[in-house]
Structure 1
Amino acid sequence: MGVTVQEQTGLFHLQSSDMSYLIQIVDGYPVHVYWGGKLKQREKMSDLLIHTPAGAGLDRLPQEYPQYGSGDFRNPAYQAELEDGTRITELKYDGYRILKGKPHLIGLPAVYTEDESEADSLELILKDTYSGLKVVLLYTIFADRNVIVRSTQLSNEGDKKLRLRRALSASVDLTGKGDMEIMYLSGAWAREGTIRRRPLVQGETRIDSKRGMSSHQFNPFAALVSKETTEDHGEAFGFSLVYSGSFEAGAEVDSFGSTRFSIGVNSFDFAWQLNPGDSFQTPEAVMVYSGHGLGEMSRTYHRLYRTRLCRGKYWDEERPILVNNWEATYFNFDADKLVSIAEEGAKLGIELFVLDDGWFGKRDSDNSSLGDWYEDRRKLPGGLADVAERVNRLGLKFGLWFEPEMISPDSELYRKHPDWCLHVPGRRRTEARWQLVLDYTRQEVRDYIYDSLSAIFTSVPVSYVKWDMNRCLTEIGSAALQPEHQAETAHRYVLGLYELLERITADFPHILFESCSSGGGRFDPGMLYYMPQTWTSDNTDAVERLKIQYGTSLVYPVSAIGAHVSAVPNHQVGRITPLEFRGDVAMSGNFGYELDLTNFTDEEKETVKRQVATYKQIRGLVQQGDLYRLKSPFEGNESAWMFVSEDKEEALVYAFQVMAVPNAPLRTVRLGGLDPELEYEVESSISGEKSIYGGDRLMQLGLPLKYEQKDYQSMWFRLKAVKPLTRFNIKSYARLRNHRRS
């Protein structure tokens, strides 16, 4: 396993325990040969080598990092403009290096290894001798994961300036795959994570963001799947970009039935000046292969991102159950009101109280004070420290909301530094939510934010931070950049954000950071590198959350999915659902409440107390177990999923029915991930009864579902493997016991 090279044929074989990826050097070009299930190592693989038709040129060659202008008319992976204005470069192979482990990407988030034995890396070196452009293609293959991670470094080794107009992270030409389908996640605010699936046809299919953030509209992820691919069967090729800014991902089918897939920083409104000696590093693309359906692809991403992308104290720790005051009070609160909510939370077993927006400056609505990160003594006469200490005395930890990337025109900061926002001189400054975006390309701006936040973190016992970002980037320009660098602003903003996050999370490792961007507007792997969980959506309606959380799980682990119970009628859609239903949906993520606990009846408080106690028992399995999606909310009235422990001895199944069905047929759900040789004791949340079933039966015949005749029904089942002694049935055990006594 790892990386092997056949020098005589120019063949590079990247191999994990269950996957192979082959590259061949053909006429000086790195060419894609194969990506799929594991191929055995052989001395010769002449039958796999690429042979292009005579006179076909580059347009028929399945390339690894294609160029434009010298015979290939498909979308290129890069484009460089020379000082004379021409845009023709031709990269040719110039050598390779094999490295143990995985190199660190400077200034960018990336998956990592804890030991170099986990992975091997290949650098393919390409050069254009005319311009001096050098490109290094970096491939990392993990020994025990069906994962290849790709990124690209472009350097100017010439004596004249170069200007990058396109620099993608990865490009793959899949020969004979023109009949595949593409899957991706789309949506809008409060409708994130909608799964889309459609056939590829000749031409281009593209998703992207031009918003300066990964966006609610499209997630930086897509998968190519065969037509027959389901959750459990068929091939899937996943592409996920570890980046938090504008991106593009696209599949192009040519006239010969081959598919070129590429992903990276969005080329629209992008350029990057490379002076002699300069380099540009692309974000990395995480590519996952599954030969056993979408579920296996998802679980590969989940394990990788949970254990080799998330970092710090909390990546493998159970997350606290919280209550957030936002939908309880909005901006209208004082210290006593906050503490009263925390007091009720303490009685119910909740572990963390989070103070959301409105505690700083003169923030009584959305239209002021962003940037003025000092406490509002009108609302909090004793300051944040007083509230936090009162909360701590109740036995709860204290959390705080920030929106550090924004500035309000009505703020002391803006009046002092009106040029600190992203803007173009002489042009209108577009406000959204009465706010502008701080220019994170500027070191002095980042230093101000760091100093403001660190002053609070060192004086107030903050253990959790919700880091919000509530608008996209407009007038993308910087007063600190020269004209030739203005098109770099959007990417430099993201790099500046990463630099600040690295600094803050390193200096305050005890704080659990949660990313938010009006919900899921920046739910991407780049943010997970710094913050191990994300507020998935501002839409807390349980019915809508079935789809949002199900879709998000296509690539992101449940440990990253923030999910809360909110009040009814729901504030986003007005729907009234039972507290039990809302709780079961939210317990399928990082669990919490977003409402006024002081308004609950005694009966509701008992329900919450049971939910909190239950989640404390199951959260390790929910947050760290393997997820199996069983019934899709996008396909009908029912949804179901389950969590399975690594040793397969414990599992938890959730099932949901949105609307009651008259005279309904008998329904079952076939489980996944169990050991067919084990027997499981199954406890139902509805009846409380315990039954014993074989793992083979549960996966082949399924588990019966008996819903009540009411709308918004949910149930869960806890499965525990029966120990060897208790695998006898009760009568057999009784006979054996009586025989021994006699």
Structure 2
Amino acid sequence: MASYQKQLLKSVLTFSSVILITAGVKAQQITIPVETETTALVLQATAGKDLNTVYLGQKLNNKADYDKVAAAYEQPNDYSVLFNSAYTPSGSRNLLEPAISVTHADGNNSLELKYVSHNLTKVDDNVSLLTIKLKDPAYNFMVTLFYKSYYKENVIEQWSEISHLEKGNVTLHKFASANINLRAGSYWLRQYHGDWAKEMRPEETQLTHGIKTLDSKLGTRADLFMPSVFMVSLDKPSTEDEGQVLFGGLEWSGNFRTDFEVDPKDHLRIISGINNYASAYQLKPGTVFKTPAFVYTLSGNGKGEASRNLQNWARNYKLLDGKGQRLTLLNNWESTYFDFNEQKLGELLKDTKKLGVDLFLLDDGWFGNQYPRNDDHAGLGDWQENRKKLPNGIAAIAKEASANGVKFGIWVEPEMINPKSELYQKHPDWVVKDPKRDEYYFRNQLVLDLSNPKVQDFVYNIIDSLFIKDPALAYIKWDCNAVIYNAYSAHLKNEQSQFYVDYVKGLYLVLQRLRAKYPEIPMMLCSGGGGRVDYGALQYFTEYWPSDNTDPLERIFIQWEYSYFYPAIASANHVTDWGRQPIKYRVDVAMMGKLGFDIVVDKLSTNDLKFCQDAITTYNSLKSMIWQGDQYRLLNPRENSVASVMYVNADKTSGVMFNYLVNNRYDEGSKAPILLKGLDAEKNYSIREINIYPGSKSPFVSERIFSGDFLMKIGFNPYVNSGRSSVIIKIDAVK
């Protein structure tokens, strides 16, 4: 017997012994609190060993009071005594939506999960890990629940591990990561929808009895129509600074499913995990199925506090190099599209140096020979340099970049394949396609089967070979443009229902290998825009691409909504020729994150070029505060003619305020002072306008001094109007 199976058998015997011992003594309830600085999640094992969630809310002052919560909330007619189960099983007493559903090796579909034991481990001064072991008393079937709490950030991650020692395979039909229970008078769901160039469009509705489901069945590019992140406000829709609200999202880059069920007792049950659509999973004896983490934070002071919780957590614990630096780049895509050669790239490299950014990014179109990548119909899969465009290879471009004093980065789409490619001809069995169906394309391409270890090796070697050709390669843009049609894996043969899960597992294995060898190389997470933005992927990437829609007016709305869940340092914002706004407006919007450029530099006017050069210098002096500071939303673009956002450093000595006109109707603008946030009421601050276009004059002819108290109670008017459509204000403490 394998060592792991021996360990698992020992655990099963221990579980059984605990249950038998418990049966021989007077059973008592066991209360298990999980606390952060302001939040408490309280679990309780009943006398009958059912594990329930009895409380999720603001932390109580006296820990002993958690023992009294269940009795205070007790209501009759919970027929199953499972309405607030911490991980609801199906097929036995449960009457509501389950978190887990299985078919045992003997064909039985019922499941009970009884509390066995729990253990709380202090990972460090800020992080704790609670594990709770559950077992079916009739089967050698176990679930371990994990609750990882981040004290200062007020964030909790939940996931589960499922295992068994039955005589044969167990089929997992549903396998959620988290099962959360909330109590309030009403519940308001803020969800998001979208499509290409229309990411993160919010909708807010009151949840009613029954089940509301957010999900994706796209396989790859899973967030294209609906991302997994959401907000739930309790009792009334929360505002930026008021109301109780929970933010949540699944750390998974494939199909997801989140159920919101208002139960017969008017409580809200949130069950989130991998989408079990077409994904029944065969679990062999002695193996473990680990679900992805579900992350959430609960705020008692509105959406702004919740977002700062998640942003701090992401920078400190989840986003790759979240406390580090980022490169400002110039991309060739909108300058050349597929039409370029060494000479054109050489000129662009000179523009990169002239502009003053750190890196030149070579985008799509550099590869393929038999099927050259001159448009999006051919070449994907054939990752050799195109000899006509780059006769001396990417090493020559990288060398030229170095000679111009800038770094070099490159675009790849390693998960995808065009039917017009040598790879397709050589390895048709590596392609996700149904042998009984006609091929159907998304952007003229198909998806490679990452459930296949050989394909995983191939994708890994695509990236690895780039570093072999150019050891100084400084940046990877990883794209993913297609969804999965006709889901079928030649590799999985008779286990097709595992494909959607195993694909993402295969993707993560590739990324883990790459990060083991290249731990510090910046990588952009791109998926035809924001089709794949989640913390499951972002632990391997330094940044994400919010949208291919780079119209700065549209980007204000897109970036605003993303910022609730992801920090500014992770948002790759490029200045392009999209939109009708002047260059200042475009640059100012892009500065609210990780700045980049995708413009034809030699077509800029003298003043436009001078402004961009100066703006990069200004940005370099501000970026640490934008990336690591606390973000405060001042005026919502969906509710006002002006959008306003500010960032404040940790010690409240400096801030920057971005203001934009978002309504071009007659005489619109900032007609009253805007209330600032996040400052120290006892400090005095100087106010001055920065990032001014050459030849323009600011109405603020000199620095003005105000107290923090004044700025947060009376405010400051940046005088945004049609002639001053974008205004940046710098705020600094003075003695």
Q: What TM-score results when the alignment is normalised by the length of structure 1? A: 0.91
Q: Quote the residue 1:611 is aligned against.
A: 615
Residue correspondence of structure 1 range 489-568 to structure 2 within 5 A:
489-567=499-577
**Contact between 2:82 and 2:88, CA under 8 Å: does it hold in 1?**
no
Residue correspondence of structure 1 range 323-472 to structure 2 within 5 A:
323-361=330-368, 362-460=372-470, 461-472=472-483
Q: Quote the residue 1:32 is aligned against.
A: 53
- Kindly tell me: are residues 354 and 46 of structure 1, through their superposed partners in 2, closer, same or farther at Cα, counting changes over 3 Å? closer
CA distance in 2, matches of 1:139, 1:666: 48
**Contact between 1:660 and 1:709, CA under 8 Å: does it hold in 2?**
yes
Question: Is 1:94 matched with 2:104?
Answer: no
Deviation at 1:202, TM superposition (A): 1.3
Q: Name the SS for the 1:93 alignment partner.
A: strand
Question: Is 1:655 matched with 2:659?
Answer: yes
Deviation at 1:589, TM superposition (A): 1.3
Deviation at 1:448, TM superposition (A): 1.6
Question: Is 1:179 matched with 2:186?
Answer: yes
Q: Please tell me the residue identity of whatever aligns with 1:700.
A: K
Q: Quote the residue 2:140 is aligned against.
A: 132
CA distance in 2, matches of 1:633, 1:648: 25
CA RMSD after TM alignment:
1.7
Q: Residue deviations 1:394-417, cap 9 Å, x none?
A: 111101000000011111111111
Q: Name the SS for the 2:456 alignment partner.
A: helix
Q: Name the SS for the 1:159 alignment partner.
A: coil
Q: Residue deviations 1:10-55, cap 9 Å, x none?
A: 1111122222111111221111111111112344544312475566
After TM superposition, the structure 1 stretch with the greater mean CA deviation from structure 2, 669-678 or 82-91, is 82-91
After TM superposition, the structure 1 stretch with the greater mean CA deviation from structure 2, 533-542 or 379-388, is 379-388
CA distance in 1, matches of 2:185, 2:502: 36
CA distance in 2, matches of 1:632, 1:53: 41
Q: Quote the residue 2:62 is aligned against.
A: 41
**Contact between 1:67 and 1:78, CA under 8 Å: does it hold in 2?**
yes
Residue correspondence of structure 1 range 571-582 to structure 2 within 5 A:
575-582=579-586
Deviation at 1:59, TM superposition (A): 5.8
Q: Quote the residue 1:583 is aligned against.
A: 587
1:691 aligned to 685, 691, 704, which one?
704
Deviation at 1:702, TM superposition (A): 1.2
Q: Quote the residue 1:734 is aligned against.
A: none
Q: Name the SS for the 1:518 alignment partner.
A: coil
CA distance in 2, matches of 1:494, 1:698: 48
Percent of pairs identical after alignment? Answer: 33
Question: How many aligned positions are there?
Answer: 692
CA distance in 2, matches of 1:17, 1:154: 30
Question: Is 1:280 matched with 2:289?
Answer: yes
After TM superposition, the structure 1 stretch with the greater mean CA deviation from structure 2, 137-146 or 365-374, is 137-146
Q: Please tell me the residue identity of whatever aligns with 1:68.
A: S
Q: Residue deviations 1:290-343, cap 9 Å, x none?
A: 1111001001100111120023xx432231211101011100011111121221
Q: Quote the residue 1:61 is aligned against.
A: 83
**Contact between 2:83 and 2:263, CA under 8 Å: does it hold in 1?**
no
Q: Quote the residue 1:13 is aligned against.
A: 33
1:196 aligned to 203, 213, 221, which one?
203
Q: Residue deviations 1:267-308, cap 9 Å, x none?
A: 211111112212210000112111111001001100111120
Q: Quote the residue 2:684 is aligned against.
A: 679
Q: Name the SS for the 1:432 alignment partner.
A: coil
> Which consecutive unaligned segments of at least 5 residues does structure 1 have?
1-6, 102-115, 724-742
Q: Name the SS for the 1:718 alignment partner.
A: strand
Q: Quote the residue 1:705 is aligned against.
A: 718
Q: Please tell me the residue identity of whatever aligns with 1:629.
A: R
Moved beyond 6 Å, runs of 4+: none
- Kindly tell me: are residues 593 and 225 of structure 1, through their superposed partners in 2, closer, same or farther at Cα, counting changes over 3 Å? same
Residue correspondence of structure 1 range 95-114 to structure 2 within 5 A:
95-101=117-123
**Contact between 1:441 and 1:489, CA under 8 Å: does it hold in 2?**
yes
After TM superposition, the structure 1 stretch with the greater mean CA deviation from structure 2, 295-304 or 143-152, is 143-152
**Contact between 1:20 and 1:38, CA under 8 Å: does it hold in 2?**
yes
- Kindly tell me: are residues 209 and 42 of structure 1, through their superposed partners in 2, closer, same or farther at Cα, counting changes over 3 Å? closer
**Contact between 2:661 and 2:722, CA under 8 Å: does it hold in 1?**
no
- Kindly tell me: are residues 67 and 337 of structure 1, through their superposed partners in 2, closer, same or farther at Cα, counting changes over 3 Å? same
Deviation at 1:687, TM superposition (A): 3.7
Q: Quote the residue 1:106 is aligned against.
A: none
Deviation at 1:8, TM superposition (A): 5.0
**Contact between 1:52 and 1:61, CA under 8 Å: does it hold in 2?**
no
After TM superposition, the structure 1 stretch with the greater mean CA deviation from structure 2, 534-543 or 71-80, is 71-80
Deviation at 1:594, TM superposition (A): 0.8
After TM superposition, the structure 1 stretch with the greater mean CA deviation from structure 2, 684-693 or 318-327, is 684-693
Deviation at 1:661, TM superposition (A): 4.9
Deviation at 1:237, TM superposition (A): 1.2
Q: Name the SS for the 1:503 alignment partner.
A: helix
Q: Name the SS for the 2:42 alignment partner.
A: strand
Q: Quote the residue 1:219 is aligned against.
A: 227
CA distance in 2, matches of 1:512, 1:53: 53
Question: Is 1:474 matched with 2:485?
Answer: yes
After TM superposition, the structure 1 stretch with the greater mean CA deviation from structure 2, 442-451 or 465-474, is 442-451
Q: Residue deviations 1:238-282, cap 9 Å, x none?
A: 212111100011211123211111111012111111122122100
- Kindly tell me: are residues 60 and 161 of structure 1, through their superposed partners in 2, closer, same or farther at Cα, counting changes over 3 Å? closer
**Contact between 1:669 and 1:702, CA under 8 Å: does it hold in 2?**
yes
CA distance in 1, matches of 2:667, 2:136: 71
- Kindly tell me: are residues 229 and 487 of structure 1, through their superposed partners in 2, closer, same or farther at Cα, counting changes over 3 Å? same
Q: Quote the residue 1:83 is aligned against.
A: 105
Q: Please tell me the residue identity of whatever aligns with 1:557.
A: P
**Contact between 1:369 and 1:411, CA under 8 Å: does it hold in 2?**
yes
Q: Please tell me the residue identity of whatever aligns with 2:726.
A: S
Q: Name the SS for the 2:487 alignment partner.
A: coil
Q: Quote the residue 2:19 is aligned against.
A: none
After TM superposition, the structure 1 stretch with the greater mean CA deviation from structure 2, 137-146 or 486-495, is 137-146
